[in-house]
Amino acid sequence: MAQTDSTQAGSSTTATARPAPAPPAPTLLLPEPPLRVVGSTPLWVSGPQAQGTVLPTEDAFAELYAGRADLVLGTLPPPAPPAGALPALSVPVGVFAVSVAYMLPGVALRLDLPTLCALLSGKLSRWNLPAVAALNPGAPLPALPVLLSARTARNGVSLAVAGACVKAGVWPTDQLKSNWSGGAAFGRATLGAQRTDLTLPGTLALFSAQSTPAGVQVAALKTAGGDFVPPRSELGLSTLSYPGALPALPTTPFGVLRASSGPAAYPLRGLVWASLLPEQAYRGRSLERARALLRLIRALRAGSARGVSGLPANTWPPVPLTYQGVPVQP
């Protein structure tokens, strides 16, 4: 009986131990996909953090509001947001020059801003008129009509030029538009059609620096210092900050840029704007993605390429992004 009790006691103390639980599987953290940038202006900084796709303004903002794009780069104001959505936040990130292209064989054309605006509006209708001849002494200006090729679709070049001509006091304020005809001989929907027009002697057309056709004649414009210079993408303000100074950049999105004041600065230019949603906690987005957007905007403002120049650091306005209501820091 005692042996039996001992055997039972021994069997209870030598029961098989359970194996230790397996350690938890490591969490796989996938890298954030590149930021998707869309709009009418191509990216001018390179790197793995962002990928750009050129799209018309309306299509680009549709992608932004649908959550399929992170940022819109362009020169035109956005359309109204969808019902229930907050308007996009737009901040300036770059400046582009506007090229004045023409077809006058044998003429190295020089213009000042008031004379250019008068040519565009139709007030000056022939190339050999005294106002043009005075800026081009000795040049063989022909007695040809000015054949303006104007864009009929909304575009940032037309908006920038309208702003400059209104600021110069040559155009009335109601002409501050992103598509205007002025004294146009041709109304064109595409850049390609405008390029074709430049095969006709007497033609005048406007392009951004990055879309100017290769080999066309481009006018030199008169600076505040009296020199004539080719297109150059720069802000062009001689003094950017002092007590009582006007803001260097428009205080409202897509506002008119101040006239250039630098003695050697090219006078015809416009701004590129970055637009994004001010509250970044949407459609499963991460805080890190919002921070990456701020870093990309900083890189755009500091970089220059492809006919676009960044902005002086002391002109950079803040980018008030939030994530779940908390301000985002880069």
CB atoms within 10 A of CB 52: 19
Token representation of residue 16: 């098989």
Q: What is the pTM of this model?
A: 0.85
Q: How far, in Å, CA of 103 to CA of 148, rounded?
A: 11
β-pairing verdict for 220-222 and 217-218: unpaired
94 SS3 class:
strand
Instruction: For residue 252, give the amino acid letter.
Output: T
CB atoms within 10 A of CB 191: 18
Tell me the CA distances in angstroms from 79 to 60, 61, 175, one per residue in order. Answer: 10, 7, 20
From start to end of the chain, where are the E strands? 35-39, 50-54, 71-74, 89-102, 110-111, 147-151, 184-188, 203-208, 217-218, 220-222, 228-229, 269-276, 304-305, 308-309, 322-323, 326-327
Question: Is CATH 3.40.190.10 the right assignment for the domain spanning 96-244+255-269?
Answer: yes
Token representation of residue 59: 């299509």
Q: Give residue 174's pLDDT.
A: 92
Q: Give residue 244's pLDDT.
A: 57
8 SS3 class:
helix
Rounded average pLDDT per 10-residue block, the chain, 330 residues: 46 58 59 89 86 94 95 94 92 96 97 97 96 97 97 93 93 92 90 94 94 94 96 82 69 88 92 96 92 96 90 92 94
Q: Give residue 210's pLDDT.
A: 85
Q: How is domain 35-95+271-327 classified at the CATH fold level?
A: D-Maltodextrin-Binding Protein; domain 2 (3.40.190)
Q: Give residue 246's pLDDT.
A: 65
Q: Give residue 3's pLDDT.
A: 47
CATH 3.40.190.10 domain span(s) along the chain: 96-244+255-269
